[in-house]
């Protein structure tokens, strides 16, 4: 554990925005570790995950949220929408993330759902992808009429641009108070949860459009033997055809998924991981309250 600096300010900061604007990438960049999974597909994030960052007398507890759901209606998505609303209760500040290149109706819908009385900072992300940086100024002007933001800050979560300015703006909004977590704690989630997320992340990254939304991951066993972690996971799918896609020809796709997930686990956990992944058909899991409870949604 690092020598504790005296924390004088601490608080919870929700990261919100429509799907795929880079909320989870931003959380990871702010924390300096990959704890929240990311992919090009909307709705990769399904759980509330807190990422904790302690620096210069300030402890930030960033809360990543699932994107507001529109497609794929199911009991699962009802629960995700509730998780987003719950994440906004009792936060000291909100970072509203939007794509610096465009403002969409979905952005405005998210903005309309934010509670009054909590200060909101707008972070205009992916500035690295802007062909013309001058396009930012009219966008900032446009956003400044959409709501009273404490600050509007252009950032690139992927490159780290603008993040010191964002942190400073957030720190100004946090109340005086002692640390809420040890200052070497990175997340409120345990390794078992993070392991299941890394498997899900690869499913989202390695597969086509539809199958990932029909999957969930259960950790059946998690044992630590010295520096080695032995992890056994099951991927639930809805139909046999999805299992075939996930497993791939002679198991090749599942092998890729498992080896990438294992590499991410080893990086975060800092020790070797032995990972086995099974695939099981469990019809209707996304509509089953009992299953959703067991999965922690």
Binding residues (CB under 6 A) for ligand GDP: these are 17, 19-25, 38-40, 44-45, 67, 125-126, 128-129, 156-158
Give, in order, the Cα–Cα distances in Å from 181 to each of 37, 86, 128. Answer: 22, 21, 33
CB 179 within 8 A of CB 10: yes
Question: Least separation, in Å, of the C-beta of 14 and Mg ion?
Answer: 13
Q: Based on CB atoms, which residue is closest to Mg ion, 18 or 253?
A: 18
50 three-class SS: strand
40 binds, among Mg ion, ligand GDP, none (CB under 5 to 8 A by kind): ligand GDP
Question: Least separation, in Å, of the C-beta of 134 and ligand GDP?
Answer: 18
Number of residues that bind Mg ion (CB under 5 A): 3
25 binds, among ligand GDP, Mg ion, none (CB under 5 to 8 A by kind): ligand GDP
Neighbours of 259 (CB within 10 A): 11
Give the phi and the psi of residue 247 in degrees, each rounded to 5: -75, -40
Residue with the two structure tokens 């059946």: 220
Question: Least separation, in Å, of the C-beta of 174 and Mg ion?
Answer: 23
Out of 13, 14, 24, 50, the only residue in the binding site for Mg ion (CB under 5 A) is: 24
Question: Least separation, in Å, of the C-beta of 202 and Mg ion?
Answer: 15
Q: Which residues contact 202 (CB under 8 A, 6 or more apart)?
A: 256, 257, 258, 260, 261
**Residues at the interface with Mg ion (CB under 5 A):** 23-24, 45
């Amino acid at each position: 554990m690092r020598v504790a600096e005296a924390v004088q300010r601490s608080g919870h900061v929700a990261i919100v925005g429509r799907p795929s604007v880079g909320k989870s990438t931003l959380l990871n960049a702010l924390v300096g570790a990959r704890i929240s999974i990311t992919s090009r597909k909307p709705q990769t994030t399904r759980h509330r995950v807190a990422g904790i960052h302690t620096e210069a007398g300030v402890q930030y507890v960033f809360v990543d949220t699932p994107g507001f759901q529109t497609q794929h209606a199911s009991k699962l998505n009802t629960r995700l929408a509730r998780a987003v609303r719950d994440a906004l209760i009792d936060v000291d500040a909100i970072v509203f993330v939007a794509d610096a290149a465009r403002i969409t109706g979905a952005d405005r819908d998210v903005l309309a759902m934010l509670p009054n009385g909590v200060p909101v900072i707008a972070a205009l992300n992916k500035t690295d992808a802007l062909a013309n940086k001058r396009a930012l100024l009219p966008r900032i002007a446009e956003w400044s009429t959409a709501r009273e933001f404490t600050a509007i800050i252009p950032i690139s979560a992927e490159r780290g641009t603008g993040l010191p300015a964002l942190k400073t703006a957030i720190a100004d909004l946090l109340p005086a108070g002692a640390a809420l977590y040890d200052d070497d704690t990175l997340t409120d989630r345990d390794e078992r949860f993070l392991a299941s997320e890394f498997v899900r992340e690869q499913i989202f990254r390695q597969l086509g459009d539809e199958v990932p939304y029909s999957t969930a991951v259960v950790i059946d066993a998690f044992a630590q033997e010295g520096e080695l972690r032995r992890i056994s996971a099951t991927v639930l799918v809805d139909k046999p055809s999805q299992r075939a896609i996930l497993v791939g020809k002679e198991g090749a796709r599942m092998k890729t998924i498992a080896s990438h997930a294992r590499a991410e686990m080893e990086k975060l956990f800092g020790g070797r991981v032995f990972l086995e992944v099974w695939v099981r058909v469990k019809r209707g899991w996304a509509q089953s309250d009992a299953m959703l409870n067991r999965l922690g949604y």
